[in-house]
């Protein structure tokens, strides 16, 4: 029989600091893994395995190939941030088309909602990519900037939903979708909390290295939140169709495909810029000694 030799795993003190995850002691892959070793690790229990398998396809590559080198790790996550921000913009476009509360339809806020979401997306990917340059020297600032980079676009996207759930007193044809919007919002906030707090692994380092650490729970919450979000949007699209066709702003190219194309272009520019910067930034002396 053919035997498949899986890559060796390492402890936290055997890999460079840039690969360290708070509260995670074991299960690290080789910090200079080959592409084949990264693919093989998909079928091996590492501290990244469930992160990979609970991710959307375009973003799972970040976790899969992030152990090839320090720079590869950063570039993989640059691409991941681009995918996350593109999803955020897609949410804004869908909300503008189908979920806006009756009182805000055709207002100035509605007219500029997607345009500002595009700006948020461009700023977010730039800020999140920049945060990776601060990981070792200023880890707290790095984490703060990264959370801000993801939380701000989400908060902007959610403004019409919050208004609809808590500030609007009028009934609308999309009332049946509100419970889904509520559940989606709660689970999304929980996901953000888990990502920021590093729970439960920070309370018991080494106990949740393979199963149950915060990044895995974060992914599961994001999956559930996305499912509820899609259900809510589909309900709004179905139940409010006639009212929206008669009252709302017809979707334009600039507010849909044009916005997405602009986001992709600026995301690629950001990723290229920060990737080149990685190779032009001198490596700190402390890291040189460790390697």
Beta bridge partners of 10: 28
DSSP tag of 180 = H
Torsion region of 212: left, alpha or beta (phi above 0 gives left; psi -120 to 50 gives alpha): left
pLDDT at 209: 95
Q: State pTM to two decimals.
A: 0.87
pLDDT at 284: 57
Beta carbons of 231 and 224 less than 8 angstroms apart: no
In contact, 19 and 46? CB cutoff 8 Å: no
Spatial neighbors of 7 by CB under 8 A, at least 6 apart, are 29, 30, 33, 37, 40, 41, 44
Q: Which pLDDT value is given to residue 289?
A: 47
pLDDT at 171: 60
Q: What percent of the chain is helix, strand and coil (3-state, nearest 5)?
A: 70, 0, 30
Of the candidates 9, 8, 161, the residue with the CA atom closest to the CA atom of residue 92: 161
Instruction: State the Cα–Cα distance between residues 7 and 30, nearest whole angstrom.
Output: 8
Q: Computed from CA positions of residues 253, 257, 260, 265, in that sequence, does the dihedral angle turn out positive or negative?
A: negative
Q: What pLDDT shows up at residue 163? A: 92
User: What pLDDT is attached to residue 1?
Assistant: 37
State which residues of the chain have pLDDT below 50. 1-2, 289-291
Residue-wise burial string across 193-205, b where 16 or more C-beta atoms lie within 10 A, e elsewhere? ebbeebbebeeee
């Amino acid at each position: 029989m053919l035997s498949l030799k899986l890559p060796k795993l390492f402890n936290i003190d055997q890999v460079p600091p840039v690969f360290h995850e708070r509260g995670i002691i074991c299960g690290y892959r080789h910090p200079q893994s080959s592409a084949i070793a990264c693919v093989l690790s998909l079928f091996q229990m590492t501290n990244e395995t469930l992160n990979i398998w609970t991710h959307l396809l375009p973003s799972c590559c970040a976790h899969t190939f992030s152990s090839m080198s320090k720079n590869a790790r950063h570039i993989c996550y640059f691409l991941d941030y681009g995918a996350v921000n593109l999803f955020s913009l897609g949410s804004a476009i869908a909300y503008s088309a189908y979920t806006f509360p009756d009182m805000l339809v055709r207002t100035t806020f509605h007219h500029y909602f997607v345009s500002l979401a595009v700006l948020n997306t461009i700023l977010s990917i730039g800020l999140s990519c920049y945060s990776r340059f601060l990981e070792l020297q200023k880890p707290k600032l790095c984490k703060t900037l990264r959370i801000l980079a993801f939380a701000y676009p989400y908060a902007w996207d959610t403004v019409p939903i919050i208004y609809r759930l808590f500030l609007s007193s009028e009934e609308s044809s999309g009332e049946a979708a509100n419970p889904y919007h509520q559940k989606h919002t709660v689970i999304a906030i929980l996901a953000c909390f888990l990502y920021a707090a590093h729970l439960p692994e920070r309370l018991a380092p080494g106990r949740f290295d393979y199963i149950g650490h915060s990044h895995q729970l974060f992914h599961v919450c994001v999956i559930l939140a996305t499912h509820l979000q899609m259900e809510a949007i589909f309900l709004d699209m179905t139940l409010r169709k006639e009212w929206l066709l008669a009252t709302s702003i017809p979707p334009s190219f600039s507010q849909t495909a044009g916005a997405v194309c602009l986001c992709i272009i600026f995301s690629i520019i950001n990723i290229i810029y920060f990737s080149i910067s990685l190779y032009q930034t001198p490596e700190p002396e402390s890291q040189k000694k460790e390697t």
